[in-house]
Chains A and B, each alone.
Chain A
Amino acid sequence: MKSETLARSIVILVFVTLLTWLGLAASDRMDILNITASMPERGGWQPGDFTARVGEPLLVHLTSHDVVHGFAIGQMEGFEAEVLPGKVTEVELVFSEPGTYTYYCTRWCGPNHWRMRGTITVIGEGKPEAEVVTQPLYLRLGIDIDAEHPAETIPPGKPSAQEGIGLWGMVPSTYAAEMLLRSSSPAELFIRMRSDSGLERVSDQAIWDLVALAYWNLTSEAALEEGQRLFSENCAACHGVSGQGDGVFSGQLGEDTHQAAIPDFTDPARMLGASPALLQGKIVRGGMGTGMPYWGTIFTDEQTWMLVDYLWSMQFDYPIDEGSKE
């Protein structure tokens, strides 16, 4: 009977120890925010929203339930974590300002990848994020970004910023004004230059080269590279690496995503009728039922313009030296 008592004690001890250990281990997880990632069709981020306090570090455990995802917070540059299936990635989040932040997936995890977003509400003392955000240009200009915007005219050949350098001295400085360039489509700028008496002896192609150079002058090699990176990471899945609307998910966007035909950014008839402000608006606000997501909470203002400037590289030849700039 002593043996039986000992055996029972051992069984109880083993299982009580096991359960206690598991209980303690589970309680250790109480202070950790566990976020799981699944493809949007299977639930996306769980939880889809959470709250943090200004200045208080928040320990987050990220794990994926299916494929590799990426975790990033909109408008917080330089922060990105890889979220691997079944593995835990630990990140510590600290917010210096209250406000509403968007976290999103940075990997092309599936056709609805772009839907994979969540919201972080940061509460506490500090200057709210909202106060420092200025109204986007398209709103200030009152542009209807859903209206058709065909180009009134298109160039006979692909405009080259390099070719425009020799003639730039003839161009009045008003055409270099940033506000004019951001609010005008290339076609509008062409028409305006074409009607300028100082440029009447210049050929149509040469005018277009000047237009290309004007937009090039707004940007830089570094900004274009960053724009290309942003495009590759966030846009190319649908729009295609070359911008022709042939991304890997373009064929998988079914009717349930309400998408319109994905635009071809290399089509001058479509693109040269759009002003940079209009393109900014489409990026910031999204396509409203077309399947194009909104990026306003994710990209900074600067990043949005970098993307817009990069789009012009699909219309204009930009391979010119930094040193050749005005």
Chain B
Amino acid sequence: MGCGVFAVQAINLRRNPILNFLLVNRWPQLAIRIITLAGFGIVILGGLVGTPVGSQNISIVLLWIAWWGLLILFAVPILGRGWCNICPIPLVGEWLQQGTVLGPVKILRGISLHRPWPKRWRNIWIQNAFFLGLAVFSTVILTNPVVTSLAVLALLLIATGMSLIFQKRAFCRYVCPVSGFIGLYSQAAPVEVRVIDTQICRDHPEKTCLTGDENGYGCPWGLYPAAITKNVNCGVCMECLRSCPYENMAVNIRPFGKGLFNPRERKLDEAFKSFIMLGGALVYSVVMLGPWGELKLAAYLIGSPAWLVFAAALIFSVVVLLPGSLYLGIRFSGQRLTAFQLRREFINQSYALVPLGLAAWIAFSLSFIFTNISYVVSGIGDPFGWGWNLFGIADHAWRPYLSTVTPYLQTVVLLAGLGYTIYTSVKIARETSHDQSSLPLIGLSTALAMGHLWVLIG
């Protein structure tokens, strides 16, 4: 770590006894997961039985304003996979799979077949495809309570079904479209779960972090904690903290973006994820926030020829155009590269898009979250649009918040994301001494950031 920023010592949160208790004890996590499960239950019910007016239906306001706002503005940038720790989607499946609610029980008593996930699909290509599949329908999913409800219900049922067939949290790691991008961006987050001393792990014959014991399950994400070097697949579920008899697991606070500088575990599927996510944020901004009514209409008219063009354009942009631009940029950057090196440089540089992608999603979300946040209050007061007035807040009038500062926030966030992307790109290029590999990415990311800024505030 040549840079001074990364010379900062990681801080282990477990040194604080209160935090250690909250992280290790099973009850706080279970309590929050029951609350989030009840919340998702209300989202599903709200969509099915409530008013179809999105702004007045709890399913839309709770999920796409409150939850999404918390996720993208706080949980992902600060806690990385923190949401996965309390996510209710796989919860019912886990209960059935493990045979316990609180757990753990060393001998599995659940009703799952505990089959291993197929080796061929031990990557995030399915997550990439799933996310893209949802993205082309997103204008309707985000605004129609029934569709939102059915989408959440489908995720819940798929997760539960997979828990009954496969081992551990296969759904979370290989299928969940939300988990895919949270994992990607968790690399930039300043929280990590890591082993303190790997020698202790090597000397520990039982490897309870893998097999589980009476205190904790074996890693539900299928990882060997001693080998974790990046956040992507660690669900911060805290089971390894519980099952390690030597208290050899730490929950560290580290500098932002540190996880991006790990040359050993960069993969093509994750590289594509960075394009899908960055491109997705741009397309969403253009369609939902831009002034082009025809485009908006095309995105809404699912099944129409205009929508097919929109869907094809979206997929082409994020799967072919953006990655292709970078690939060709590196190919013609004036360096002598073998085919293997070209592929490696392309994958490496793609990871530099993570900060800009995260910034793009934050900037996009800032446009509507604070504008619509007041709907959450009235939505809680009358969750289904049935004329209730719970807590006397149903008539809370809509009002936008931070509307005057939002453009400045968006500018700062996007420019910061661009700056960090450029910094990351240059640093990654130096790993292989192919310094010119960063030039195409810097050009591409600058153009995309400026274009995005123009759409948002131009």
**A180: Cβ under 8 A from any B Cβ:** no
B window 15-34: CB within 8 A of A: 27, 30, 34
Known contacts A65-B52, A86-B51, A87-B56; is A29 also within 8 Å of B34 by CB?
Answer: no
Which A residues are CB-close (under 8 A) to B52? 65
When the two chains form their complex, are residues B385 and A18 in contact, meaning their CB atoms are under 8 A apart?
A: no
Instruction: Decide if B309 is an interface residue (CB 8 Å cutoff).
Output: no
Give chain B residues whose Cβ lies under 8 Å from the Cβ of A7. Answer: 27, 30, 100-102
Contact B101 A11 (CB under 8 A): yes
B112 close to chain A: CB less than 8 A = no
B56 with A14: CB separation less than 8 A: no
CB distance from A211 to the nearest CB of B (A): 51
Residues of B within 8 Å of A87, CB to CB, are 56, 385
Highest count of chain B CB atoms <10 Å: which of A15, A25, A63, A86: A86
Asked whether A3 is an interface residue with its Cβ less than 8 Å from the other chain, the reply is: yes
A3 to B42, CA, bound (A): 27
- Given the complex, which residues of A lie within 8 Å of B30, measured CB to CB? 7
Q: Which residues of A contact B34 (CB under 8 A)?
A: 10-11, 14
User: Residue B103 contacts which of A4, A6, A14 (CB distance < 8 angstroms)?
Assistant: A4
Hey, what's the 0/1 contact readout for A80-102 against B, CB within 8 Å counting as 1? Answer: 00000111101000000000000
Chain A residues with CB below 8 A from B53, complex form = 63-66, 85-86
Interface residues of B in 28-69 (CB under 8 A from A): 30, 34, 38, 41-42, 45, 51-53, 55-57
A92 CB to nearest B CB, Å = 13
B213 contacts chain A at the CB level, 8 A cutoff: no
Given A65-B52, A86-B55, A86-B57, A14-B38 contact (CB < 8 Å): yes
Chain B: CB-nearest residue to A6: B102
Verify if B334 is at the interface (C-beta below 8 Å from A).
Answer: no
Name the contact of B101 in the complex, choosing from A4, A25, A64, A90 (C-beta under 8 A).
A4
B149 to chain A minimum Cβ distance, whole angstroms, is 14
Chain A residue nearest to B385 (CB atoms) is: A86
A285 close to B (CB within 8 Å): no
Among B38, B52, B57, B100, max chain A CB count under 10 A is at B52
Task: Say yes or no for B386: interface residue by CB 8 A criterion.
Answer: yes
Check: A127 CB closer than 8 A to any chain B CB. Answer: no
Q: A18-B38, A65-B51 are in contact. Are A88 and B385 (CB under 8 A)?
A: yes
Within 8 A of A (CB), among B223-253: none
Shortest distance between the CB of A301 and any CB in chain B (Å) = 36
Whether B386 pairs with A88 at a CB distance below 8 angstroms is yes
**B residues near A22, Cβ cutoff 8 Å:** 45
Assembled-state Cα–Cα distance A220/B242 (Å): 88
Q: Which residues of chain A from 180 to 235 have a CB within 8 Å of any chain B CB?
A: none
* Chain A positions 1-59 with a Cβ under 8 Å from a chain B Cβ: 3-4, 6-8, 10-11, 14-15, 18, 22, 25, 29
- Is the CB of B166 closer than 8 A to any CB of chain A? no
Interface string of B373-404 (1 = CB under 8 A from A): 00000000010011110000000000000000
- Give the distance in Å from the alpha carbon of A66 to the alpha carbon of B52 in the complex: 8
In angstroms, Cα B387 to Cα A15, docked, is 23
Q: Which residues of A contact B (CB under 8 A)?
A: 3-4, 6-8, 10-11, 14-15, 18, 22, 25, 29, 61, 63-66, 85-88, 90
Q: Residues on B close to A: CB < 8 A? A: 27, 30, 34, 38, 41-42, 45, 51-53, 55-57, 100-103, 105, 382, 385-388
Provide 27 A-B residue pairs closer than 8 Å at the C-beta atoms, listed in order of the A residue: A3-B102, A4-B101, A4-B102, A4-B105, A7-B27, A7-B30, A7-B101, A7-B102, A8-B101, A8-B102, A11-B101, A15-B41, A18-B38, A18-B42, A25-B386, A25-B388, A61-B386, A61-B387, A63-B53, A65-B52, A85-B51, A86-B53, A86-B55, A86-B56, A87-B385, A88-B385, A90-B387
A15-B41, A64-B53 given; 10 more Cβ-contact pairs under 8 Å: A14-B38, A18-B41, A29-B386, A63-B51, A63-B53, A63-B385, A86-B51, A86-B53, A86-B56, A88-B385
7 closest Cβ pairs, A-B complex: A86-B56, A88-B387, A86-B53, A7-B102, A7-B101, A85-B53, A86-B51
